[in-house]
A and B are shown apart, each in its own frame.
Chain A
C-alpha cells in the first residue's frame, strides 16, 4: 500500500479564509483602510476607542501578511541576480541535474543529468544537455538554430532571430523545447515577469559547493521553486529546485550550478557542422 495520503494537498482553513476574504493585497489594504476609517470616526467620539481601533488595524495587516507572503527582499534578490547576469558578456555554466519522471502508477523515478550552457551575448549559445536517457546539443550562432542528437546522428536546423533573447522565445514557444534552466535567458528581461510570483520568501543561508548562498522560495504559475543565490558581489544562482504542482506526485527538478565568468570561446563551437554520418530531419512546430 502506497502512502498516497501523504501526497495529497490539503483543503484547509486558510484556503477557505482566502476564498471568503479574497486574499489579495488590495483586499487586505481595503480591510485595513476600512478599519482605519472606522477608527477615525470613532476618534471623534472617544480617544480611547480610537486607540483600540488602531490596534485592530495592525492585527488586520498582520493577518494579511500571513495569508500572502511576497517578501520584497526576495524579489529584490532575484532582480539583483538578474541584473548581474545581464552584465556577463559571456559565461559558461555547468549544472548537475536531477529530474523526476512520474510513472502512470504515480511513482516517481529520478534521472540524473548534466547541462552546460556556453553563452556569448548577444547572439551565440551552445547547450550540451545529457541525461541518463537523452543526449542533445543545441547550437545557435546568430543565424541558425540546430538541435543535434549525437548518438542518433539526427540534426534539425531552422533559421533563428538575431539575438539570444528572441531565440529563447522560438525555443520555448514555437519548438516546444523544454530546455532545462532556460530561465537564465529570461531573468532580467521583460518576459521574466516577477509580477506573476504569488509568493516569495527568504528562507536563509546555505552552503552550496563551498560557496555561501542565500535560499529563496517562490510560487509562480504551476510550480514552487527555490533558488539559492551566491552572496557577495557576484550574485549568480548556485542551485535551483523546481517542484511541479500540476501533478499530484509533485515531481521535482534540481540543478546545482557552477559558473565560469567571461571565458573566451572559439566562435566555431556555436555553429553546427554536420559530419558525414549526420542526417538532417525536420522539427515539429508547436500548434497552439
Chain B
C-alpha cells in the first residue's frame, strides 16, 4: 500500500518534471533546489543504472569501471539519503535471497558477492572541475522534451550537477546538464557555443549525454 502511494508520488513527480515549460525548468534548476531538495529525500536523483552490454574486453572495461574514483562528497551529502549505507559491501546481511522466489535451476546458491559492490565511478570527469551541487535527475534536456534524461552514463553515476544558474559568476570548468533559458547558440570556429549572462557554455557529449561546460570566451 505504502509502496503504491510512493509510486503514485513518483509518477506525479515524473509528470511534473516533463512539463515543457522553460520557466519551470529554470526555476527548478536556477533556484538551486531542484527535485532533490523539493523531494526532501533526494528521491529523484539517479545513482546509476543497468549495464546495456555484457562487455568483456578481457576485463579492461570492468577494470576501468571499478577503478573509478569515489563519488564526490556532494553526491552523498547534498541530499538526505536516509540511513542506508550503499557502499559497505560487508553489511549486506544474511538474508538468503534464494528464498524469495523459485529461481529454478538458475539458482547459483549462496555465493557471496559482497565485494562486487564497487563504485563504478565516473571515468571521464575531470575531478578538479567545480561542479554545481544541484542533484537534480532531470538532465540532458532533449529539445522540446522539457524533462530530462535519466539514462545512466559514466558521469551521471558519480556526479551531480544540474541546470546552470541564471546568475553570473559561474566558475570556468563548471559542468551542467542544461542551459539557463534564453541562452542562444553562438557558432564559432566550426563548433557551437552558447553565450548568455556573460557566461560562455560549451556543449559537449560525455558518453551519449550532452552537458555544458563553462569556458573562457572562445573568440
Q: A11-B94, A11-B114, A247-B117 are in contact. Are A186 and B56 (CB under 8 A)?
A: yes
A173 within 8 Å of B (CB atoms):
yes
Residue B202 contacts which of A102, A172, A282 (CB distance < 8 angstroms)? Answer: A282
Contact A203–B105 (Cβ < 8 Å): yes
**1/0 contact string of A1-19 vs chain B (CB within 8 Å):** 1101111111111111011
Residue B95 contacts which of A6, A181, A191 (CB distance < 8 angstroms)? Answer: A6
List residues of chain B with CB within 8 A of the CB of A248.
Answer: 86, 92, 117
Stretch at the interface among A30-38, A49-57, A84-92, A220-228: A220-228
If over half of A's interface residues share one DSSP class (helix, strand or loop), that class is named, otherwise mixed; here it is mixed
List residues of chain A with CB within 8 A of the CB of B203.
Answer: 154, 279, 281-282
CB distance from B3 to the nearest CB of A (A): 7
Q: A181-B52, A221-B59 are in contact. Are A245 and B116 (CB under 8 A)?
A: yes
Contact A104–B110 (Cβ < 8 Å): no
Contact B149–A133 (Cβ < 8 Å): yes
Q: A220-B56, A242-B52 are in contact. Are A9 and B97 (CB under 8 A)?
A: yes
Give the residues from 173 to 210 in chain A that come closer than 8 angstroms, CB to CB, to chain B.
173, 175-183, 186, 191-193, 196, 199, 201, 203
Stretch at the interface among B23-31, B41-49, B161-169: B41-49
Closest to B110 in A: A12
List residues of chain A with CB within 8 A of the CB of B104.
Answer: 203
Contact B106–A203 (Cβ < 8 Å): yes
B102 within 8 Å of A (CB atoms):
no
Q: A133-B149, A222-B62, A282-B191 are in contact. Are A183 and B54 (CB under 8 A)?
A: yes
Residue B109 contacts which of A14, A175, A196, A245 (CB distance < 8 angstroms)? Answer: A14
Contact B143–A134 (Cβ < 8 Å): no
Contact B45–A104 (Cβ < 8 Å): yes
Interface residues on A, range: 35 or more
List residues of chain A with CB within 8 A of the CB of B2.
Answer: 1
Q: A134-B142, A178-B208, A203-B106 are in contact. Are A109 and B150 (CB under 8 A)?
A: yes
Contact A103–B56 (Cβ < 8 Å): no
Contact B52–A246 (Cβ < 8 Å): no
Contact A104–B42 (Cβ < 8 Å): yes
Q: Most chain-A CB neighbours within 10 Å: which of B3, B116, B120, B208?
A: B208
Closest to A202 in B: B105
List residues of chain A with CB within 8 A of the CB of B62.
Answer: 221-222
A284 within 8 Å of B (CB atoms):
yes
Contact B109–A102 (Cβ < 8 Å): no
List residues of chain A with CB within 8 A of the CB of B111.
Answer: 12, 14-15, 18
CB distance from A284 to the nearest CB of B (A): 5
Contact B49–A102 (Cβ < 8 Å): yes
Interface residues on B, range: 35 or more
Q: Most chain-A CB neighbours within 10 Å: which of B92, B111, B123?
A: B111
Contact A179–B53 (Cβ < 8 Å): yes
Closest to B80 in A: A104
Contact B61–A101 (Cβ < 8 Å): no
Complex Cα spacing A99 to B52, Å: 8
Complex A-B: 28 CB contacts under 8 Å = A9-B113, A10-B112, A11-B92, A14-B109, A15-B112, A19-B112, A103-B44, A104-B43, A104-B44, A109-B150, A131-B151, A134-B149, A147-B205, A151-B143, A173-B57, A173-B64, A176-B206, A178-B207, A191-B57, A222-B118, A242-B53, A244-B50, A252-B50, A283-B206, A284-B124, A286-B64, A287-B124, A287-B126
With contacts A107-B43, A154-B203, A284-B205 known, what are 19 further pairs, Cβ within 8 A? A6-B100, A9-B112, A10-B97, A11-B112, A105-B42, A136-B208, A154-B192, A178-B208, A183-B54, A193-B57, A201-B106, A220-B55, A223-B51, A244-B51, A246-B116, A247-B48, A252-B50, A253-B50, A287-B123
B interface, CB within 8 angstroms of A? 2-3, 6, 10, 36, 41-62, 64-66, 79, 81-82, 84, 86, 92-98, 100, 104-106, 108-114, 116-118, 120, 123-126, 135, 137, 140, 142-145, 147-154, 185, 187, 190-192, 202-210
A interface, CB within 8 angstroms of B? 1-2, 4-16, 18-19, 66, 69, 97, 99-107, 109, 111, 129, 131, 133-136, 147, 149, 151-154, 156, 169, 172-173, 175-183, 186, 191-193, 196, 199, 201, 203, 217-223, 225, 240, 242-248, 251-253, 279-288
